[in-house]
Amino acid sequence: MQNISNNLNNINNEIKEFSKKYFNDKDKVNLIAVSKTFGVEYIEAAYNSGARDFGENKVQELIEKVDYFSEKHNDIRWHLIGHLQTNKVKKIIGKTSLIHSVDSLKLAEEINKHSLSMGIITNILVEVKISKEETKYGIPKEEIIEFVKTCAELNNIYIKGLMTIAENTADTDLIRNNFKEIKQLYDNIKELNMPNAKFEYLSMGMSNDYKIAIEEGSNMVRIGSGIFGKRSYDLV
């Protein structure tokens, strides 16, 4: 538990350095502390060390944590980073700051529908599939622009950018090239400046590859084990 504070400080300092170096301090790199599988006491420790953005990948776990902290720390911003099934959308609308993992039109429409009925606009990112073989979810790169254009017509979602998960490989050159490609895609769509899709966030980089991701232009990294330690079990 004590390590959480040290880990967070180290990563925050590093990210600050990187922001200076790669963004001239014009843009800030946002750190999402990925708390999936870790109990509320871990979140409490990270909160007390300054973390305000937390990422979860399961709807039920997210809801339990949101409810637990809703009165205690109402300035926590919750991020859903894992695959979202359409039949679970209703449960989480209004509880998230950002849904990173929109990977189908059906899902986008469902989020839009429930947001409309609650009278809110839900912030989302579109998940890009880097490689056909390695990653399960996401929209293929070739289809992203059309997909964003279609989603931008839905009035109760706001597309804030793109998210991606690197391939599970030790080949850092490959990871870097993939990140470069996604950054280019992000910039291209950002330039279109669509009314419901003014891009602000490129969510890429995890504990093992966040330095490469920032070097290639990510401004939102999702770090779990680097902050909280090894997970005793892993649900993907």
Ligand X SMILES: *Cc1c(COP(=O)(O)O)cnc(C)c1O
Would you tell me which residues interact with ligand X (CB under 6 A)?
Answer: 34, 36, 57, 81-82, 165, 206-208, 222-226
Instruction: Specify the residue, 60 or 188, whose C-beta has the smaller distance to ligand X.
Output: 60
Instruction: Specify the residue, 86 or 225, whose C-beta has the smaller distance to ligand X.
Output: 225
User: What residue number has its CB nearest to ligand X?
Assistant: 224
Query: Least distance to ligand X from the beta carbon of 116, Å?
Result: 27
Task: Note whether 143 and 133 are within 8 A (CB).
Answer: no
Q: How far apart are the first and last CA of the chain?
A: 24
Query: Least distance to ligand X from the beta carbon of 48, Å?
Result: 20
Question: What is the C-alpha to C-alpha distance for residues 89 and 114, in angstroms, rounded to an integer?
Answer: 8
In sequence order, the 6+-apart residues with CB closer than 8 A to the CB of 91 are: 59, 63
For tokens 């009165």, the residue is 71
Task: Note whether 171 and 146 are within 8 A (CB).
Answer: no
Instruction: Specify the residue, 56 or 110, whose C-beta has the smaller distance to ligand X.
Output: 56
Query: Least distance to ligand X from the beta carbon of 177, Å?
Result: 20
Q: What are phi and psi of 194, to 5 degrees?
A: -70, 145
Query: Least distance to ligand X from the beta carbon of 220, Å?
Result: 11
Instruction: Specify the residue, 47 or 156, whose C-beta has the smaller distance to ligand X.
Output: 47
Instruction: Specify the residue, 37 or 196, whose C-beta has the smaller distance to ligand X.
Output: 37
Query: Least distance to ligand X from the beta carbon of 90, Å?
Result: 22
Both tokens assigned to 25: 């301090």
Task: Note whether 130 and 172 are within 8 A (CB).
Answer: no
